[in-house]
Amino acid sequence: MLVLSHLLGQRHRERATGEPYESGIVATGSARLRFDIKFYLVAMFFVIFDLEAVFIYAWAVSLRETGWAGYFEMLFFIGVLLAALVYLWRLGALEWGTARRRLRRGGYRAGQGPG
């Protein structure tokens, strides 16, 4: 169907075809805005720690089938996630303050690690 549409369709493109549509209003400014890196970090942390909820829910549904082995596996999984959260917290990745305040508290600059 797509091939047939491509072969029989019109060949010319109109100028408005490639422009963004904003509810019938002429677009102003650029659509490429710069966001602070903190927003991306928060989004990544949310995705990582939100996936844990999916795993914990699946574990809770199958709790009777997994028995004690599943219980200890989930305990280990939650322990690893808590260790990661504590690491991020101590690193200063969850701080929204200025970088100067994070450095005073022992955080690291971007690109530098411990040691």
Tens digits of residue pLDDT in 91-111: 887 777 665 555 555 555 555
* Pair of tokens at residue 25: 């209003």
> What does the pLDDT look like over 10-50, one tens digit per residue?
776 666 666 666 566 666 766 677 777 778 888 888 888 88
Which CATH number describes the domain made up of 36-104?
Answer: 1.20.58.1610
Q: Which pTM value belongs to this model?
A: 0.51
What residue segments make up the domains of the chain, in order of their start? 36-104
Q: What does pLDDT average to over the chain?
A: 77
> What does the pLDDT look like over 52-83, one tens digit per residue?
888 899 999 998 999 999 999 999 999 998 99
The answer to whether 59 touches 75, Cβ cutoff 8 Å, is no
pLDDT of 115 above 50: no
Q: Which residues contact 65 (CB under 8 A, 6 or more apart)?
A: none
The pLDDT of residue 25: 67
DSSP string, 11-47: ----GGGGS--BTTBPP-S-S-----HHHHHHHHHHH
* Pair of tokens at residue 59: 């574990």
| CA–CA separation, 68 and 74 (whole Å) | 10
